[in-house]
Amino acid sequence: MPPISLLRAKDDAAKYGLDPEVLLKLKEKAMGARGVAYCPYSSFRVGCALLTADGDGTIITGANVECASTPVGICAERCALGKAKTEGYDKFAALAVATDISPPASPCGMCRQFIREFCDLNMPIFMYDKDGSCVVRTLEELLPMSFGPDDLKRGEVREEL
Amino acid sequence: MPPISLLRAKDDAAKYGLDPEVLLKLKEKAMGARGVAYCPYSSFRVGCALLTADGDGTIITGANVECASTPVGICAERCALGKAKTEGYDKFAALAVATDISPPASPCGMCRQFIREFCDLNMPIFMYDKDGSCVVRTLEELLPMSFGPDDLKRGEVREEL
Amino acid sequence: MPPISLLRAKDDAAKYGLDPEVLLKLKEKAMGARGVAYCPYSSFRVGCALLTADGDGTIITGANVECASTPVGICAERCALGKAKTEGYDKFAALAVATDISPPASPCGMCRQFIREFCDLNMPIFMYDKDGSCVVRTLEELLPMSFGPDDLKRGEVREEL
Amino acid sequence: MPPISLLRAKDDAAKYGLDPEVLLKLKEKAMGARGVAYCPYSSFRVGCALLTADGDGTIITGANVECASTPVGICAERCALGKAKTEGYDKFAALAVATDISPPASPCGMCRQFIREFCDLNMPIFMYDKDGSCVVRTLEELLPMSFGPDDLKRGEVREEL
Ligand SMILES: [Zn+2]
Ligand SMILES: [Zn+2]
Ligand SMILES: [Zn+2]
Ligand SMILES: [Zn+2]
Could you report the per-residue pLDDT of D37-76, keeping only the tens digit for each? 999 999 999 999 999 999 899 999 999 999 999 999 999 9
Beta carbons of B49 and B29 less than 8 angstroms apart? yes
Q: Report the pLDDT averaged over residues C62-82.
A: 98
Q: Mutation test of the interface with chain A: which of C41, C70, C101, C113, choosing the one with the most A Cβ atoms within 10 A?
A: C70
| ipTM of this complex | 0.94
Residue D1: per-residue pLDDT: 56
Q: Where does B4-160 sit in CATH, by number?
A: 3.40.140.10
End-to-end CA distance of chain D: 65
Q: Mutation test of the interface with chain C: which of A69, A77, A106, A113, choosing the one with the most C Cβ atoms within 10 A?
A: A69
CA of D151 to the centre of ligand 2 (A): 29
**Which residues, other chains included, contact B30 with Cβ-Cβ below 8 Å and sequence gap of 6+?**
B47, B48, B49, B61, B96, B97, B98, B126, B128
**Which residues, other chains included, contact D121 with Cβ-Cβ below 8 Å and sequence gap of 6+?**
D138, D139, D140, D146
Q: Is the pLDDT of residue A23 over 90?
A: yes
Do the chains contact at C69 and B149, CB–CB below 8 Å? no
Residues D136, D139, D143, D145, CA torsion sign: negative
For the stretch B103-140, pLDDT in tens is 999 999 999 999 999 999 999 999 999 999 999 999 99
Return left, alpha or beta for B88; rule: phi > 0 is left, psi -120 to 50 is alpha, else beta.
left
Residue D157: per-residue pLDDT: 45
Taking contacts as CB-CB distances below 8 angstroms, the residues of chain A near B145 are: 106, 135, 137, 142
Taking contacts as CB-CB distances below 8 angstroms, the residues of chain D near B110 are: 69, 71-72
Pick A102 or D3 by higher pLDDT. Answer: A102
Between CA A100 and CA B158 the distance in angstroms is: 8
Residue type, D146: S
Residue B157: per-residue pLDDT: 45
Do the chains contact at C109 and D105, CB–CB below 8 Å? no
A51-65, D8-22, D104-118 — which is least confidently predicted?
D8-22
Q: Which of D89, C76, D114 is nearest to A66 (CA)?
A: D114
For the stretch B44-70, pLDDT in tens is 999 999 999 998 999 999 999 999 999
Please say if A156 is a catalytic residue: no
Q: Is the pLDDT of residue B5 over 60?
A: yes
Give CA B143 to chain center in angstroms: 13
B124-133, B150-159, D149-158 — which is least confidently predicted?
B150-159
Between CA A133 and CA A4 the distance in angstroms is: 11
For the stretch B76-93, pLDDT in tens is 999 999 999 999 999 999
Between CA D102 and CA D95 the distance in angstroms is: 19
Which residue ranges of D are tagged as binding site for Zn(2+)?
75, 108, 111
Taking contacts as CB-CB distances below 8 angstroms, the residues of chain A near B99 are: 155
Q: Which of A98, A89, A75, A88 is nearest to A24 (CA)?
A: A98
Residue D3: per-residue pLDDT: 66
Q: Where are the domains of chain B?
A: 4-160
Q: Is the pLDDT of residue A4 over 80?
A: no
Q: Is the pLDDT of residue C109 over 60?
A: yes
Q: Is the pLDDT of residue C3 over 70?
A: no
Count other C-beta atoms under 10 Å from residue A148's C-beta: 17
